Amino acid sequence: MTVKPVLEVIQTPLDRTFRIYAHDYPFVYSGWHHHPEYELHLIRRSRGHFYVGTYAGEFGPGNLVMTGPNLPHMWVSDADERDADGCIVGRDLVLQLSAGFAERCVAAFSDCCGLTGLLEASRAGIEFSSEAAAEAARLMEALLATAGLERMAVFFTLLKTLEEDRERTSLSLMGADHECAQPKRLERILAYIAENFNRPDLSCREIAEDEGMGLPAFSRLFERHVRCTCIEYINHLRIYKACQLLMETDDAITPISLEVGYDTLSTFNRNFRRLIGKTPSAFRAERRSGATAAAKSLRPPGAAGRVACIAESTSQGRGRSPLASIRPGAVPLFPYPA
């Protein structure tokens, strides 16, 4: 069983263009994974829970999310949504593009300057509004059937639709009150954590030393842009991977706790209950019973009146309340001062 996020190796030369494809579920990369490319991910059918960085929420048909480089993510469909073979045919439609291609678009075409804000916001993970998602889904389907200049015209129309969505929601990283001064360094840090978070001996000091930073400076950089401590980020990745294993395997809880990076069962149970709001066994039983109430199953204890997602990106309006972008059914997991 693979526990840490799989590094998706994309063969298409994305430095020159972009890649769009549909796939079934399960898929080789439908589990907890990351990659250096930007990704736009559309759910065509099924319901379940999705995880992006430190965020957990519920998804249904039409769910559209954009993720930035090396931000771990996965979508886990409920068991009762699958066919007799345990499959959901054509569940996902995925578009991927490299940072190099995106940067060249911005550099070559002045009209693409708005793309910079969209790309920066995607480092936090973005969920788009239902209206924008519906139009984007139509354009993504069209991309599958076009070529040449028509394909590029549809691609840029898609980017325009995403950039103009003022109801989009930031999911995980980076607040709206500042821009990241060291985005490449942050990408390297997140990639290092993604590759190693299931190691029980992983420490924030080790990650800082890998970047040639002192622990205080590393902690300030991390907390400023990820809006939580390094160890809390690691705990989220471990617990979300445990959620996947509890939903998709019959493995016992103790082996799962060891495989996601906890060397003691009591620590695993404590963090699972703190972040998910119930014990691992109760979570597994509820998911297998067909329960789909995300607001009930994923809200942490005592979170009423205090949960909020990270503030929206600067392009969506500085100074808006972090609570303003929470939509029904979404379950951000970070407490925000009342």
Domain(s) of CATH 2.60.120.10: residues in the chain: 6-170
**What's the pLDDT score for residue 225?**
78
Going by CATH, does the domain composed of 6-170 fall within 3.30.110.70? no
Q: Which of 39, 25, 72, 7 is nearest to 238 (CA)?
A: 72
Q: How far is CA 32 from the centre of its chain?
A: 10
**What pLDDT, in 10s, does the model give residues 81-121?**
778 777 899 999 999 998 888 888 877 777 777 788 888 88
DSSP state string for 145-210:
T--HHHHHHHHHHHHHHHHT-TT-EE-SS--SS---S-HHHHHHHHHHHHHHTT-TT--HHHHHHH
Q: What is the DSSP letter of 17?
A: S
Domain(s) of CATH 1.10.10.60: residues in the chain: 183-301
**What's the pLDDT score for residue 212?**
94
**What's the pLDDT score for residue 77?**
85
Q: How many CA atoms lie within 13 A of 265 on its CB side?
A: 8
174 vs 157: CA distance, rounded Å: 27
**What's the pLDDT score for residue 173?**
56
153 vs 126: CA distance, rounded Å: 23
66 vs 114: CA distance, rounded Å: 16
Q: How many CA atoms lie within 13 A of 168 on its CB side?
A: 30
Q: Is the pTM of this model over 0.75?
A: no
**What's the pLDDT score for residue 187?**
79
Instruction: Indicate the burial class of 3 (C-beta count within 10 angstroms; 0-12, 13-18, 19 or more).
Output: buried
The total of other beta-carbon atoms located within 10 Å of residue 89's CB is 13
CATH topology for 183-301 is Arc Repressor Mutant, subunit A (1.10.10)
Query: What residue ranges of the chain have pLDDT lower than 50?
Result: 1-2, 9-11, 13-14, 175-178, 291-338
**What's the pLDDT score for residue 99?**
82
**What pLDDT, in 10s, does the model give residues 148-207?**
899 999 999 999 999 999 999 988 755 444 455 677 788 788 888 888 999 999 999 999
Written as six digits, the tokens of 145 are: 């059937």
Q: Which helix (H) or strand (E) holds 107?
A: helix 99-108
Place of tokens 């970070």: 334
